[in-house]
Amino acid sequence: MRTRRIRPGALLAALLSAVLFAAGGAVASASAATPKTTYYVSLGDSLAKGYMPGMGDTDQGYTDRLFTALKAKDPSLQHVKLGCSGATTTTLLNGGGACTYPEGTQLAAAERFLRAHRGQVRYLTLDIGANDVARCASATGIDMTCASASLHTVGDNLAKILPRLRTAGGPKVQYAGMTYYDPFLAAWLTGSQGQQLAQLSVFVQELLNGIISFGLRWHDFAVADAATAFSTRSFTPTVPLPGVGEVPLNVARICQWTFMCLKHDIHANPTGYQVLADMFAAVLKR
């Protein structure tokens, strides 16, 4: 048999080709091993910002706690926090209020991000509407004319906000919004007139939550029901509240999970924010 000779140039070319092929495979493997960044987008008012009295907006709110839980299962997840303290459905939709966005409104900022990262956004949460109605309540009562007009505004604005979010985000996003607890239940502790105000506040809160729930479900958002989590409807049974005595369960929840009884501030405390985060986590699992 004759020995087949390989020209040096051909050998070099073959070796170079093999090296490049191996390197290309290594790069492809490294690329496949690097997870693509995914996002959780949160919108809403001061609860979405984690506001607490004396601290302002914090990284301890329900959206932050929810993000921590979600990220434990998806290390590539990033949090895009678009909420604004004091936001109403009107400011979220049309702008104004305490926050400014390059896009003009909180909703437009969310739409732009959702479109720019189509397919990468895994979760979107929303809480909005409480500030629309809260302006109608005071220590002496609730202006029902004001409340009625505000409830109509919430319904009208949600009918514009929710479909725009879904259109921008597409079908792969898990969407969830929340109802609200009733901080004005704390009026129960002030006596008989305060107890009447507390009962009226629950009636108005139920109207607000009904409008929010209807809008969310109509547009295929999961509903995280803070009213149920905080036992808002439960004037019975009564439970012991340290330093006060026996109070309805819903009143105890507000005193223990918000700053309303301690500092006359409607916002959740760390315990309350964890309750809200757990509530969202539960509906996002479904």
Rounded distance, CA 87 to CA 96, Å?
Answer: 9
Q: What is the mean pLDDT of residues 255-263?
A: 97
Q: What is the pLDDT of residues 7-38, one digit of tens each?
A: 555 544 444 454 344 445 544 444 445 669 99
Q: What is the mean pLDDT of residues 52-74?
A: 97
Q: 3-class DSSP state for residue 142?
A: strand
256 or 24, which is more confident: 256
Domain extent listing, the chain: 38-284
- What pLDDT was estimated at residue 21? 45
Q: What is the pLDDT of residues 236-255, one digit of tens each?
A: 999 999 999 999 999 999 99
User: What's the one-letter identity of residue 45?
Assistant: D
Q: Which of 16-20, 75-79, 195-199, 253-257 has the lowest mean pLDDT?
A: 16-20
Rounded distance, CA 238 to CA 235, Å?
Answer: 7
Kindly give the interhelix angle for 249-257 and 270-284, rounded to the nearest 10 degrees. Answer: 110
Cα distances (angstroms) measured from residue 77 to each of 251, 265, 271: 37, 32, 24
- What pLDDT was estimated at residue 140? 83
Other Cβ atoms closer than 10 A to 205: 23
Q: What is the pLDDT of residues 161-189, one digit of tens each?
A: 999 999 999 999 999 999 999 999 999 99
Q: Is the pLDDT of residue 1 over 70?
A: no
Peptide linkage before 237 cis (omega within 30 of 0): yes
User: What's the one-letter identity of residue 27?
Assistant: V
123, 174 Cβ separation under 8 angstroms? yes
Q: Is the pLDDT of residue 89 over 80?
A: yes
192: exposed, middle or buried (Cβ count in 10 Å: 0-12, 13-18, 19+): exposed
Q: What is the CATH number of domain 38-284?
A: 3.40.50.1110
